[in-house]
Amino acid sequence: MSDQQQLNIALLQMDIAIGEPDANFAKLSEMMEEAVRAEIKPDVILFPEMWNTGYALDRIRDIADRSGERTAEFVSGFCRKHRVNVIAGSVSELAGDQVRNTIFAFDRDGNRTADYSKIHLFRLMDEEKYLHAGDKIGLMDVDGIPAGMMICYDIRFPELTRKLALGGAKLMFVPAEWPHPRLHHWRTLLTARAIENQMYVVACNRVGTSGTTSFFGHSMVIDPWGEIVAEGDETEKILTAAIDLKVVDKVRSTIPVFADRRPELY
């Protein structure tokens, strides 16, 4: 399917039960099944950040997914059964003796095709005290389309998005747990990343409350012109959108940002 240029996307904007992996796996399973029953079946399903445990950091080592094995078992069979790609948000993953915030991606055959561990840890939620940062960027492909992966706080670092775009990415997947009161930052940063890199940005944020922190959802799909294709509200829901990757080539040829760069000066 390497010549595919159109993708139907489903974003599972869910509430997350902090520290309760079993409950979160059960809820996500229901939402996944609902997503593939839609009149227009998705090509790609995206989950939010740390959906398996939430930010239960004080006991994260005990409840994190060991080497992503439970996530792989959970998602792989679903992908094979329904012939769908899944960008499995991010999970707290116990890798050796390190806990990381990691995305796993699966293709339509259920193969784990890529992973990416968050490289920018968010001090406001104490990530750096409990988690280890990743050491590579998140390039992959979906049905032959070059894509990138970032996680939440990563979108504040434009250098990362540009590196992924220069690596060929036409599409960016962003799972997140982005809280109130920074909705304006969320919408602005995602839109900026889409415009400056002339790519689609697909971002799935959680809803609900964890301790004293509330999360506003507003999962988004933004096109390479910076136009919002779809945006959620603050409730738990499945957000869908259709994207046409030919638009990326059109925008990049109309305003040749990449050809006009002067990296020798900056």
Alpha-carbon distance 73 to 21, whole Å?
Answer: 14
Alpha-carbon distance 51 to 30, whole Å?
Answer: 14
Contacts 24+ apart (CB under 8 A), 135-141: 137/163, 137/164, 137/167, 138/103, 138/114, 138/164, 139/114, 139/164, 139/167, 139/168, 139/169, 140/105, 140/113, 140/114, 140/116, 141/113
Question: Residue 3's pLDDT is what?
Answer: 56
Q: Minimal CA–CA distance to 114: which of 94, 93, 138?
A: 138
Alpha-carbon torsion, ordered 160, 162, 167, 172, to 10 deg:
80
Confidence band for 4, pLDDT divided at 50, 70 and 90:
confident
The mean pLDDT of 166-170, rounded to a whole number, is 98
What tens digit of pLDDT does each residue of 179-209 get? Answer: 999 999 999 999 999 999 999 999 999 999 9
What tens digit of pLDDT does each residue of 210-223 get? Answer: 989 999 999 999 99
What tens digit of pLDDT does each residue of 69-93 get? Answer: 999 999 999 999 999 999 999 999 9
Residues marked active site are found at 49, 118, 152
Alpha-carbon distance 228 to 221, whole Å?
Answer: 6
Tokens 């990362």, residue located:
160
CATH number of 7-254: 3.60.110.10
Q: Minimal CA–CA distance to 103: which of 138, 77, 132?
A: 138
Sorted by where each begins, the domain ranges of the chain are 7-254
53 close to 94: Cβ distance less than 8 angstroms: no
Kindly tell me if the per-residue pLDDT of 1 is higher than 50.
Answer: no
Confidence band for 125, pLDDT divided at 50, 70 and 90:
confident
Q: Minimal CA–CA distance to 6: which of 242, 259, 263?
A: 242
Enter the DSSP assignment of 178.
Answer: P
Q: Minimal CA–CA distance to 202: which of 181, 219, 177?
A: 219
257 close to 243: Cβ distance less than 8 angstroms: no
Continuous H helices in the chain? 21-36, 60-63, 69-82, 127-130, 158-166, 183-197, 246-254
Alpha-carbon torsion, ordered 137, 106, 97, 15, to 10 deg:
100
Cα 144–chain centre separation = 18
